[in-house]
Amino acid sequence: MQFVDLNAQQQRIREDIDLRIKQVLDHGRYIMGPEIDELENQLSEYTGAKHTIACSSGTDALLIAMMAAGVGAGDEVITTPFTFIATGEMIGLLNAHPVFVDIEEDTYNIDASKIEAVITEKTKAIVPVSLYGQPADMHKINEIGRNYNIPVIEDAAQSFGGEYKGRKSCNLSSMAATSFFPAKPLGCYGDGGAVFTDNDDLAAAMKEVRNHGQSERYHHPRIGINGRIDTMQAAILLSKLSIFQSEVELRNEVAGRYDDLLKDTELKTPFVKEHNVSVYAQYTVRTSERDKYLNTLKDNNIPTAIHYPVPLNLQPVFSYLNQGEGSFPVAEKASQEVFSLPMHPYLAREDQWKIAEVIKAV
Ligand SMILES: *Cc1c(COP(=O)(O)O)cnc(C)c1O
């Protein structure tokens, strides 16, 4: 059993992928080839965002969005401590400081009711993370952003395909950043990502940042990065996008089966708010006796993972913030109690039955 089985998906679309790769080899435009425009158009159509700019990774997507928002040395960026390192890391890379806000107990997303209290004159952006595939409380966060004139950048690396009140993740705030890392809900065969916005000026800025701050050839009004996506990866994503919505539905079926199978166990299954659709980037459960479960699952060759065992405030790289243990009790407790089960659209019922049996036997 695999934690994420990319092979089952590949079998479904292998011919189309082969064909699209061949087309790239034939036209030879490996950098900024025609597949990238096509992908960006389709991603805009899928999410509803006016502008999509595909780029080199989810990490670079966060960097591009924050650079376009003007985040720089000494600025503050509000985010959650319960996320993958990249969210805080890109804030630090720009010599800005992450300002962490604790999470909601049930969704593990940033607690929007605690954001306003940490806004200062230096706050340059709010970066909520739509963790495990479920959008954060975007309405409330956008309202705060509007009131203080601060852009909201959704870290949608795990939530592409998710929905909030009938709108797709990546189209919920000023800007959004997603990842096409192979194991994400929509993944390519290498690194890739994208940024999204409805704002023409931010879109132009992000386009420039993606390509060395270039506005036209060899004319550079700003500092940028080499943040382009490979044409080859765009071609692969076009193929994968054609079956993606059906995979979102399959993921929800898999999650629904887990919910049923585990409802009488002591594991706390994921909570998805009524107005949200999760894309279940992870199926993450919770228990105060995590080690016991992890060991037994391991003994039965069932792979698991912990997202995430150390909140960012306790990472050595952010120790300079002096927010040690006890600073964010909800996130810190979650980091000690959560673990994720195998999750992908093609996970067999039989495998889920086996997982549930092993869990029940603990
Ligand atoms: C995966 C992930 C990223 C980084 O994406 P990459 O494509 O791996 O660079 C950023 N934020 C979150 C929440 C992620 O899960």
The two beta strands, 76-79 and 123-127, are parallel
pLDDT tens digits, one per residue of 81-94: 999 999 999 999 99
* HSE value, Cβ hemisphere, 13 Å, CA-based, for 160: 28
153, β-bridge pairs? 175
Nearest C-alpha neighbor of 273 from the set 155, 86, 132: 132
Indicate whether residue 109 lines ligand 1 (CB < 6 A): no
Element (H, E) at 339: strand 338-341
**Rounded Cα distance, 135 and 159, in Å:** 7
Indicate whether residue 83 lines ligand 1 (CB < 6 A): yes
158, 225, 306: which to mutate for ligand 1, most atoms within 8 A of CB? 158
Q: What is the pLDDT of residue 256?
A: 98
pLDDT tens digits, one per residue of 339-349: 999 999 999 99
Indicate whether residue 129 lines ligand 1 (CB < 6 A): yes
Model confidence at 31, pLDDT cuts 50, 70, 90, reads very high
Nearest C-alpha neighbor of 245 from the set 155, 345, 113, 174: 345
Q: What percent of the chain has pLDDT over 90?
A: 100
CB neighbours (10 Å) of residue 98? 23
pLDDT tens digits, one per residue of 294-303: 999 999 999 9
Model confidence at 10, pLDDT cuts 50, 70, 90, reads very high
Ligand 1 nearest atom to the CA of residue 181, by list position: 7
Q: What is the pLDDT of residue 198?
A: 98
Q: How far is the CA of 58 from the centre of ligand 1 (A)?
A: 5
Q: What is the pLDDT of residue 361?
A: 94
Indicate whether residue 318 lines ligand 1 (CB < 6 A): no
CB neighbours (10 Å) of residue 139? 14
Q: What is the pLDDT of residue 73?
A: 98
55, 56, 59: which to mutate for ligand 1, most atoms within 8 A of CB? 59
Residue nearest to atom 7 of ligand 1 (CA): 58
The two beta strands, 175-179 and 193-197, are antiparallel
Q: How far is the CA of 40 from the centre of ligand 1 (A)?
A: 19
Model confidence at 54, pLDDT cuts 50, 70, 90, reads very high
CA angle 73–75–79, rounded 5-degree value: 125
Average pLDDT, the chain: 98
Model confidence at 20, pLDDT cuts 50, 70, 90, reads very high
Q: How far is the CA of 62 from the centre of ligand 1 (A)?
A: 9
Q: What is the pLDDT of residue 273?
A: 98
Q: What is the pLDDT of residue 51?
A: 98
Indicate whether residue 160 lines ligand 1 (CB < 6 A): no
